[in-house]
Amino acid sequence: MSQEVLLLPGDGIGPEVTAQAARVLDWMIDHADLDLELSEALVGGAAIEATGEPLPDATLKAAREADAILLGAVGGPQWDSLPMAQRPEKGLLGLRAELDLFANLRPAILYPELADASSLKAEIVAGLDILIVRELTGGIYFGQPRGVEERNGVRTGFNTYVYSEPEIERVGRVAFETAMKRGKKLCSVDKANVLEVTVLWREVMTRLAAEYPEVELSHMYVDNAAMQLVRNPKQFDVIVTGNMFGDILSDCAAMLTGSIGMLPSASLDVNGKGMYEPVHGSAPDIAGTDQANPLATLLSVAMMLRHSLGQIDAADRLERAVQSVLAADHRTGDIAATGETVIGTQAMGDAVIAAL
């Protein structure tokens, strides 16, 4: 039986980069004996325009039935004034919550070919390879109560940062398991000197450490973690943290590499089913102009092949193709140094397919 892959192009540059992913997957179906069935559905602003809702029932149903999901990007200025519940982002947040994709893996890797793109000094970032495990279905993103209301005649906004022990434990296990497969160093980031919810977080991580004696666990306050990422990012191997801190730190870590157009991510449920997406956003300013870098999306496809579809060989092959394309100096605008020839989204897709 075929495995089903659902494509969710979304908004901005999402459709362009997803189109390159579809080409690569089609190539693999034809030439690498992959038994995949691709389908497509609406999410985010694109879904709002077509149906009035950021996450239509049909999309959610297709996502539940798929073996893996590839998402482009959601959001754009034209929807920024909508009430929160009707914004494109709700489509993304709804998918994460409904599919229980609690473990978000965000690698920040510096490609040697692109070392110059970083705003940090070469010796600080050369060889950088860290992985952030971000909790994705809890914390302040989903906590209740939330809203804006009058309290004694004063308008007041409020959100709730909440984690239960099992929520912390399951993402903690993913982080320890991931660290076991890498450098066996795990840094848990919290604000346990101020926030009670992260005192519980630290306690659970400390308890889990007993089950993974080979992993060296450390704890760091989030403000210090933001400093240390800038000062000396190579001190980290795997970082685990909650949803909000993970949002901030993973973007900071991604930017250390100077090439967020290169970085994939995976959001996994307890069975390893996942949604895969490039770390970059919808970049409305360059949407539709064939300027976007599709490599983050293609590397997300590689993560999908590896983690959700069990196609390790195909994943390796695709990652090697991306590396050889970089080695051959193919560059979209975001990763081109001054004087280098810039190619477009489609041409970059061609280059990867040729390299396959």
Ligand X SMILES: CC(C)[C@H](C(=O)O)[C@@H](O)C(=O)O
Per CB under 8 A, residues contacting a copy of itself are 75, 84, 87, 89, 93, 119-121, 124, 140-141, 143, 146-148, 151, 154-166, 191, 193-201, 222-224, 226-227, 229-232, 244-245, 247-252, 254-256, 258, 260
- Residues forming beta bridges with residue 106, ordered by sequence position: 132
Q: Which of residues 16-45 bind ligand X (CB under 6 A)?
A: none
Stretch that binds ligand X, among 87-95, 182-190, 226-234, 283-291 (CB under 6 A): 87-95
In Å, how far from its chain's centre is CA 292? Answer: 17
Q: Which of residues 54-83 bind ligand X (CB under 6 A)?
A: 75
Residue 20, marked binder: no
Residue 77, marked binder: yes
Spatial neighbors of 160 by CB under 8 A, at least 6 apart, are 140, 143, 144, 145, 146
Q: Which partner, ligand X, a copy of itself, none, binds residue 120 by CB below 5 to 8 Å per kind?
A: a copy of itself
d(CA 267, CA 273): 8
Q: Which of residues 189-228 bind ligand X (CB under 6 A)?
A: 193-194, 223
Q: Which of 4, 40, 53, 89 contacts ligand X by CB under 6 A?
A: 89
Nearer to ligand X, 92 or 301 (CB): 92
Residue 327, marked binder: no
Spatial neighbors of 57 by CB under 8 A, at least 6 apart, are none
d(CA 118, CA 109): 11
Q: Which of residues 92-111 bind ligand X (CB under 6 A)?
A: 92-93
Stretch that binds ligand X, among 89-97, 166-174, 212-220, 298-306 (CB under 6 A): 89-97
Query: Closest by alpha carbon to 48, among 8, 10, 95?
Result: 10
Stretch that binds ligand X, among 27-35, 36-44, 86-94, 329-337 (CB under 6 A): 86-94
- The C-alpha R_g of the chain, in whole angstroms, comes to 20
Instruction: Report whether the peptide linkage leading into residue 294 is cis, meaning its omega lies within 30 degrees of zero.
Output: no
Stretch that binds ligand X, among 88-96, 156-164, 165-173, 289-297 (CB under 6 A): 88-96
d(CA 319, CA 153): 58
Residue 312, marked binder: no
Q: Which partner, ligand X, a copy of itself, none, binds residue 254 by CB below 5 to 8 Å per kind?
A: a copy of itself
d(CA 102, CA 169): 11
Q: Is 271 in the site for ligand X (CB under 6 A)?
A: no
Catalytic positions are 141, 191, 223, 247, 251
Do 118 and 258 touch, CB atoms closer than 8 A? yes
Nearer to ligand X, 261 or 349 (CB): 261
CB of 139 to a copy of itself, least distance (A): 10
Amino acid at 79: W
Do 229 and 252 touch, CB atoms closer than 8 A? yes
Residue 306, marked binder: no
Spatial neighbors of 301 by CB under 8 A, at least 6 apart, are 21, 24, 25, 70, 276, 318
Nearer to a copy of itself, 120 or 321 (CB): 120
d(CA 9, CA 244): 25
Side-chain-facing half-sphere of 112: CA atoms under 13 Å: 5
Binding interface with ligand X (CB under 6 A): 75, 89, 92-93, 193-194, 223, 247
Task: Give the annotated binding-site residues for substrate.
Answer: 96, 106, 134, 223
